[in-house]
Chain A
């Protein structure tokens, strides 16, 4: 069963618009980590942010911010004032701390973000 769901396949915006990417996860573990990775057209996977299950404080880092809500099992990610360089596929990932899952990243299907000038 899919443990990480990214319902948005593609989002197209014009430069300077904000973009919010949705991520819903499923786990029975009480300890887990959530991640966002970016895959630009060049193909590499770039780490963006990480959150553990005990810290629901939402933060802002530069143009990136995230909204973690355990009550709805959601970990949404926002890019403020988007730029053309933000065009990429964004992946949400879950890592459960259970003995059988330790270290394994489970990825969503990804959301393609297209930012046009």
Chain B
């Protein structure tokens, strides 16, 4: 158990819909990262938040957005869903003080999204 929690574990929805994935980082971790794992793209970095602020952006679609709240939990919002958005979405957290070099990221169990 990494200490990172993600809900829900599974999500099945229809095209055009909007969903919200939730992540709670390990106690004390300030950084949250979101990754997408799909068969054709592999594991891709989406976005990172550090202490409530967006820190880095990767291959995240405009239909997707995220935020990190004052209690440090994070939500990933996916809208206008398409069949190709079906994937396993991981959240990871790390201590990552702003001035520090890269810390180890610990991953949650993932949310499996199926778009029908």
Contacts and interface: CB of A to CB of B under 8 A. Distances in A.
Interface of A: 31, 33, 35, 37, 43-47, 50, 52, 91, 95, 97, 100-110
A50 B104 CA distance: 7
Given A104-B48, A110-B42, A44 B104 contact: no
A107 B105 CA distance: 13
B61 to A, nearest CB: 17
B107 to A, nearest CB: 4
A44 B2 contact: yes
Judged by DSSP, the binding face of A is loop
A102 B54 CA distance: 12
A105 B33 contact: yes
Given A45-B110, A102-B56, 14 more contacts: A33-B102, A43-B109, A43-B110, A44-B107, A44-B108, A44-B110, A45-B107, A46-B107, A47-B104, A47-B107, A52-B101, A97-B102, A103-B31, A104-B56
